[in-house]
Amino acid sequence: MRWRLRRRPSVPSGGAVVVAARLERVLVALAVQGAQLDHRLERLERRVDDAVDNSLEHATYADLLEVRVHAAKVAADLARVTVELRSEIDQHTPPTARDRRAQTLAETIIDLSDSLDTRPDDGWAATA
């Protein structure tokens, strides 16, 4: 046989008010601690983000090497284009009298240096 306990009707008593006040203080303390934890997590996330940003902002040796290789390629392309443009400009401009004299002088100097060959057996002797 079972004995059933009678439940007393819930009537607010002085003890219930004290428990409710304690429960409210516990809830407020938990809310404050939760807010503090949330603030700490935000600070940690901010510090991690700053650390990642700092690591991305500083150039590494590989980045520096990549920039140097790219600069060398650009310089080589620029030199090639400069030579091509100069040759095209020279082809399209008629030589001046000074240019013709310089060309004649250069050819004369080459002919004179060929005729002064001291070792005729080396294959560089003048043929003229």
Distance CA 52, CA 114 (A): 69
Residue 15 confidence (pLDDT) = 66
128 Cβ contact list (under 8 Å, min separation 6): 111, 114, 115
- 69 and 112 belong to one structural domain: yes
Assign residue 123 a region: left if phi > 0, alpha if psi is -120 to 50, beta otherwise? Answer: left
Residue at 1 is within a domain: no
Note down the domain range covering 98.
59-116
The top-scoring range by mean pLDDT among 51-60, 88-97, 113-122 is 88-97
Kindly state the DSSP code that residue 122 receives in the 8-state scheme: G
Domains identified in the chain, total number: 2
- Residue pair 86/75 in contact (Cβ under 8 Å)? The answer is no
Mean pLDDT of the chain: 84
The pLDDT tens digits of the residues spanning 70-113 come to 999 999 999 999 999 999 998 888 888 998 999 999 999 988 88
Residue 9 confidence (pLDDT) = 56
Residue 29 confidence (pLDDT) = 93
Residue at 35 is within a domain: yes
Count CA atoms within 13 Å of residue 52 on its CB side. Answer: 6
Distance CA 32, CA 40 (A): 12
Residue 27 confidence (pLDDT) = 92
More confident residue, 84 or 13: 84
Residue 75 confidence (pLDDT) = 96
Residue 6 has pLDDT above 80, yes or no: no
Residue at 19 is within a domain: yes
